[in-house]
């Protein structure tokens, strides 16, 4: 198929991170400036914090960590040896992408614009004549190109360079960086394209980047190479990894026949995002079916309650089905972001609610927890339990967020996601507009404008003002989250037909079709009682425990909310006691808390590690048990935390019904 040329030199602000072409079926993402997130809402506040704290912090750290100097060193502008990880260039590229999305959201951000300008110029100087660009290899004459595809990350870094360049173009910030990325991509086509070397990168990522470069430029060779990389995966081209085996690289089984997510979680999930991109652009239903089949493996047997992915520190990998220990959870931040990106692509391709549900779950829990309240420190791994006496001296599993990491992949990854967060809120198609994520703000599509007034996710009340100049009918589709068991809706004061609501509960989207000409008000109420959630019996690590979940928010208990003399591991939850919700309002560190009845032993139990069964029951005393949103733990002081709480009495095997809750103002 011939290229469809695109003039990128004069491109104005365009779509966000994933933009299927017109030939791809499914939902269409909106332009960068089509959605505005109000800072009065949670997502808007996150974007503001990202712009004023996280992104500037990442830019500073690129200098302090030596990542920018590595590029200068490669061309003799700085002396010394390469410092840090061999893939440190990718930290620069992800921060560039974050700056581009920030500039697309706020064209007046001069700091972001200058960072893009100066860093693009540095990369142009560092790039070799044939397009090769990798500071680790270029800084040492003894190193050869493409000699270590298993762990060298050369194509991985090139992928992040490409994604940054596409972001800069879509933000309307020029095409200088795209010229650099295009040369790098052309070299990859020359070396690894049809007739070239049969090989894949040990860390998938370039696949989805090449598809997006194809979408931005219309050059078919980039899509062809992405498809080739996907088709070559699983043929054992990377050799047998001495520590983890081929499954670590997803190079043991071809994608089209794989039935289980395996190996390094981030690599697996980035690969699957690229698989969906290739599938929708080539019309390859078999490939899309494979992605959905692997989604079942990931989300039915290997995903944490928070949406976290990866249960093993060894290999940063997926474990066996139902192997989900809360205290040993790796749940890398980058894996949660990759999961979010993969689910976004599946949502665009299919329109199915379950993918938007998983985006929401990851966003409010596994992703949000990784950033401190001030936006300048981060978790790399995200356990669901931190034990008393935990040794947090190693950055692999610290007791509190750190300002940076020797492997700094997560902070700039967070920055680029949050900077582009508005791009994931809504979509459109020929029939209307779809809202997937709820937050205060406004959405503008070809059908009209929707202003959203809500305190979601703290409350389930949505007030939508719909304005349109169109007289012909179109459909406003509103996601009904999978956790929701009831919904009430009215349009201009008139209740929506119960049959329409019932259909929405079953299908996942409330579809309101009418002429929206003029101005209309839609009121949606999604009740948010606290839910007692149990795990599948095969998740042995949390058997006999429950978690407190409200709306999309998973809650946790911290030592900071317990009496000083108590120990978190001794706490049990009385599931028969009432649970209340306290709403303290915006402007507080913890806007909403859940309060339950806890129980503590009144005397120390046996000091024996093992003893006779049954264990004699200890006298118990009641205490007020306060649970905060999991994503906010660790912002007050380092200390123990847990999501899964032992119960007294134990829940029945048939499940525990939803608890009643009362909101207190």
Query: Any idea which residues carry the catalytic annotation?
Result: 316, 409
Among residues 324, 321, 363, which one has the least CA distance to residue 341? Answer: 363
Residue matched to tokens 């509960």: 505
Among residues 226, 192, 230, 232, which one has the least CA distance to residue 209? Answer: 226
Please list the residues that pair with 429 across neighbouring strands.
432
CA distance 170 to 362: 26
CA distance 381 to 312: 10
DSSP 395-442: TTS-SS-BS--SS--HHHHHHHHHHTGGGGSEEEETTEEEE-S--SEE
Among residues 323, 328, 418, which one has the least CA distance to residue 370? Answer: 418
DSSP 178-217: HHHHHHHHHHHHHHHSTTS-----SS--HHHHHHHHHHHH
Helices 55-64 and 110-126 cross at an angle (nearest 10°) of 30
CA distance 439 to 48: 14
CB 466 within 8 Å of CB 473: no
Residues with Cβ within 8 Å of 324's Cβ and at least 6 positions away in sequence, in order, are 302, 303, 304, 311, 535, 539, 541, 542
């Amino acid at each position: 198929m011939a290229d469809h040329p695109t003039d990128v030199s004069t491109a104005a602000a365009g779509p966000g991170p994933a933009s299927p072409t017109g030939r791809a079926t499914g939902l269409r993402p909106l332009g960068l400036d089509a959605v505005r997130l109000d800072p009065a809402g949670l997502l808007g506040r996150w974007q503001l914090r990202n712009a004023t704290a996280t992104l500037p912090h990442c830019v500073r750290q690129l200098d302090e960590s030596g990542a920018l100097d590595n590029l200068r060193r490669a061309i003799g502008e700085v002396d010394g040896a390469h410092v840090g990880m061999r893939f440190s260039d990718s930290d620069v590229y992800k921060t560039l992408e974050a700056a581009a999305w920030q500039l697309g959201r706020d064209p007046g951000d001069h700091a972001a614009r200058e960072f893009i300008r100066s860093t693009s110029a540095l990369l142009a100087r560092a790039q070799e004549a044939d397009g090769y660009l990798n500071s680790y290899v270029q800084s040492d004459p003894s190193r050869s190109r493409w000699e270590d595809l298993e762990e060298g990350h050369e194509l991985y870094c090139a992928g992040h360079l490409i994604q940054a360049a596409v972001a800069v173009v879509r933000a309307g910030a020029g095409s200088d960086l795209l010229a650099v990325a295009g040369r790098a991509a052309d070299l990859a086509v020359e070396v690894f394209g049809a007739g070239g070397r049969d090989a894949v990168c040990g860390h998938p990522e370039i696949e989805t980047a090449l598809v997006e470069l194809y979408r931005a430029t219309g050059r078919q060779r980039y899509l062809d190479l992405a498809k080739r990389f996907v088709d070559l995966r699983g043929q054992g081209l990377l050799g047998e990894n001495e520590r983890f085996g081929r499954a670590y690289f997803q190079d043991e089984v071809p994608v089209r026949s794989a039935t289980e997510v395996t190996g390094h979680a981030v690599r697996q999930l980035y690969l699957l995002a690229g698989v969906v991109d290739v599938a929708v652009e080539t019309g390859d239903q078999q490939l899309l079916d494979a992605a959905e089949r692997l989604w079942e493996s990931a989300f039915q047997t290997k995903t944490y309650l928070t949406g976290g992915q990866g249960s093993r520190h060894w290999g940063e990998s997926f474990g066996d089905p139902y192997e989900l220990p809360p205290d040993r959870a790796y749940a890398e931040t980058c894996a949660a972001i990759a999961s979010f990106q993969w689910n976004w692509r599946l949502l665009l391709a299919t329109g199915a609610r379950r993918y938007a549900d998983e985006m929401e779950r990851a966003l409010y829990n596994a992703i949000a927890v990784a950033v401190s309240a001030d936006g300048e420190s981060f978790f790399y791994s995200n356990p669901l339990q931190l034990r008393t006496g935990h040794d947090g001296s190693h950055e692999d599993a610290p007791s509190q967020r750190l300002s940076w990491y020797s492997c700094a992949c997560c902070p700039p990854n967070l920055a680029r996601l949050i900077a582009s967060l508005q791009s994931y809120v809504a979509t459109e198609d020929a029939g209307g507009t779809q809202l997937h994520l709820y937050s205060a703000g406004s959405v503008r599509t070809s059908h009209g404008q929707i202003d959203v007034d809500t305190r979601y996710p703290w409350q389930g009340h949505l007030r939508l003002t719909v304005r349109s100049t169109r007289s012909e009918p179109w459909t406003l589709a509103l996601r009904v989250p999978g956790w929701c068991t009831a919904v009430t809706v009215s349009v201009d004061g008139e209740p929506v037909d119960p049959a329409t609501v019932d259909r929405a509960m079953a299908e996942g989207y409330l579809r309101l079709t009418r002429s929206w000409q003029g101005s209309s008000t839609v009121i949606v109420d999604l009740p948010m009682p606290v839910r007692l959630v149990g795990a599948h019996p095969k998740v042995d690590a949390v058997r006999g425990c429950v978690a407190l979940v409200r709306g999309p928010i998973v809650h946790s208990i911290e030592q900071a909310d317990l009496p000083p003399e108590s120990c978190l591991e001794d706490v049990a939850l009385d599931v028969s006691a009432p649970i209340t919700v306290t709403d303290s309002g915006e402007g507080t560190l913890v806007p909403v808390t859940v309060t339950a009845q806890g129980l503590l032993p009144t005397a120390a139990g046996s000091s024996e590690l093992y003893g006779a069964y049954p264990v004699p029951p200890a006298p118990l005393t009641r205490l007020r048990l306060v649970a905060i949103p999991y994503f906010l733990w660790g912002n007050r002081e380092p200390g123990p935390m847990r999501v899964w709480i032992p119960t007294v009495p134990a829940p029945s095997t048939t499940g525990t019904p939803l608890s009643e809750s009362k909101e207190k103002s």
